[in-house]
Structure 1
Amino acid sequence: MQTEKQKKKILQLAENDERIRAVILNGSRANPNVCPDQYQDFDIVFIVNDFNSFLNDRSWIKKLGKPILQQLPDEMELGKDVNQDNFAFGFLMIFEEDYRIDLTLFPADKFESHFKTDSLTVVWLDKDHRFEKPSKPSDKDYHIKKPTQKEFTEVCNEFWWTITNVAKGLKREEIIYAKDMLENVVRPMFWQLIEWNIGNEHDFQISLGKSGKFAKKLIPKPLYENILKTYSDSNIENNWKALLIMVNIFTNEQNKLGKALKFQINTTEAENSTKYMQKTRKE
């Protein structure tokens, strides 16, 4: 019921504003595989005429509700790519009514040349019939991609090389450095291998979701519980244990995927890295 009220507000604004030519829903609310709940964002795109008028006078936002928190990524220096031409403009807003809209304005005059339709797309309004044959929404654009031998080799190499930095950091009791290396350098490689194995088990016709949000549903319970043990606190000994668990899981996942996809596996690299880590711990 609450979802319908929010949808109605969005559509009323669009229907009554001649500048807004189309309304598109993307994201999890467009995904038939996601069970809806009250915390889902509304990922909305407005195709608009007179683009700059929406930025110069932003009073139109009030028709959606009263924002209590917002972010404007396209006005921020943080994360800005100076080499990228941005035609769109995003408003990320949480409203007093307890819902969030991630709203993107896209200029209608750039539609033909620059607009890319996402597989998770539901057309809510189309005044100019730009989307005459909208396809059924699916998460196919987000399916796990099958790796090549080169990608597999490089991910494994990065993991085995960079765990040595974690080991050195823990040995020196430089916990902040060790945690940073573990979470921001090592873990992405760790998750990539797990993700590829999940993809392979489902013929690469599945998505793990943003930041592994569907992992609990897709990973066998014993493995999932072991993965959770790789997330440690600030205690040095606990971090050693977490690192060892991560290494054991990665070794199993590397062998599993390599065998399944008939990839070459650099077992010497894995063995030498593990020996180096264990030696560093004992010294």
Structure 2
Amino acid sequence: MRSEQDMMKLLVNFAVEDPRIRLVTLEGSRTNKNIAPDAFQDYDISYFVTDMDSFKENDDWLNHFGKRMMMQKPEDMELFPAELGSWFSYIILFEDGNKLDLTLIPLDETEEYFSSSDGLVEVLLDKDSLIQNEVRADDRQYWIQKPTARKFDDCCNEFWMTTTYVVKGLARKEILFAIDHLHEVVRPNLLRMMAWQIGAERGYSFSVGKNYKFIDQYLPNEDWEALLSTYAGNGYENMWQSLFTCCELFRKYAKAVAASQGFKYPDYDEAITGYTMNIYNS
């Protein structure tokens, strides 16, 4: 695998030598000092260019970066509609294991890019001195956010209402329906509530990572093991137990958040729990 130094030199030098590329930025985890570097980090690179069409005519210019194992062009797909507007991206896995997410951006959209940035940006090359103010990467936008009373109540409402869909799916023997609602709504709201309690205990000045990937560092071991057990969805009884565990954990963490922030914990927990157990035992 080529080193980070080799890859960065390759990516920047290509831009230096191509007059169509006027500005280069690095985004994502490689700019975040709070993320330990490893070999699986993508190279999230943006080229700000004067002539988009000349790049899109063919893919030969991408050969400069190495032999490709696979490439995806999200803005050139029919099944998955484009989301980047006039921007165009290439997601490339090279044969040596390096991965490049390369985005072409029209030069006249530079201001829009920086105004919508998540803060994790470094300027690698600026041929025309377009960037007047110093750009410093930080992950502040991803820090745990202190909940308002309304957000807390919304989270509780969404969690407990959606549990009834899981229950319905299990009672009807529609396990994929139940799994989908538990994975897509119930557990994400549990994780959100857990993060809020972590913030209440430790302050709201850090992130638990994308997809809550670092949350295990802040949870008691027994709660972490319980959370992991809720990913067992291979069978109806396992799904019921996963749901029960999610409910127990949510109740614990939501009540802790309510106590620390002076919020009212909703009383429909008791009603929904009774409803759930009646159907489970029927």
TM range (shorter): over 0.9
The alignment status of 1:76 with 2:77, answered yes or no, reads yes
The AA in structure 2 aligned to 1:246 is C
How many Å separate the matches in 1 of 2:242 and 2:84? 42
Alignment-derived partner of residue 98 in structure 1: 97
The 8 Å contact of residues 51 and 105 in structure 1, kept in 2 or not, is answered as yes
Change (3 A) 1:159 1:92: same
CA distance in 2, matches of 1:98, 1:35: 18
Deviations 1:58-77 (A, max 9, x none): 32211111222111111223
Q: Is the 8 A contact 1:29 1:40 kept in 2?
A: yes
Instruction: Specify every segment of 5 or more residues in structure 1 that has no aligned partner in the other structure, as ranges.
Output: none
The change in CA–CA distance for 1:240 and 1:8 in structure 2 (over 3 A counts) is same
Check whether the contact 1:175–1:234 (CA below 8 A) recurs between aligned residues: no
| Deviation, structure 1 residue 219 | 2.4
Residues 128-277 of structure 1 aligned to structure 2 (within 5 Å): 128-266=128-266, 268-277=267-276
Are residue 127 (structure 1) and residue 123 (structure 2) matched? no
| CA deviation vs aligned residue, 1:54-101 (integer Å, no higher than 9, x gap) | 1123322111112221111112234426xx771211111111121001
Change (3 A) 1:113 1:29: closer
For the aligned residue pairs, the C-alpha RMSD in angstroms reads 1.8
Q: CA deviation at 1:203?
A: 2.3
Q: Count how many residue pairs are aligned between Structure 1 and Structure 2.
A: 280
Q: Cα distance, 1:2 vs. partner? A: 1.0
Q: Does 1:57 align with 2:58?
A: yes
Corresponding residue SS for 2:75 = helix
Identity value in percent: 36
Give distance in 2, aligned partners of 1:254 and 1:238: 24
In 2, Cα distance between equivalents of 1:189 and 1:205: 21
Instruction: Give the AA of the match of 2:154.
Output: E
The answer (yes or no) to whether the contact 2:75–2:84 under 8 Å persists in 1 is: no
- Stretches of structure 2 that go unaligned for 5 or more consecutive residues are none
Preserved contact between residue 90 and residue 102 of structure 1 (Cα < 8 Å): yes
Following superposition, the deviation at residue 49 of structure 1 comes to: 1.2
Q: Could you tell me how far apart the structure 1 residues matched to 2:264 and 2:37 are?
A: 42
Aligned position for 2:34? 33
**Distance in 2 (alpha carbons) for counterparts of 1:21 and 1:134:** 17
Q: Give TM-score scaled by structure 1 length.
A: 0.92
Scaled by the length of structure 2, the TM-score of the pair is 0.93
Q: Deviations over 1:176-219 (max 9, x none)?
A: 22111211222222222112222333322111211112122232
Larger CA deviation: 241-250 vs 229-238: 229-238
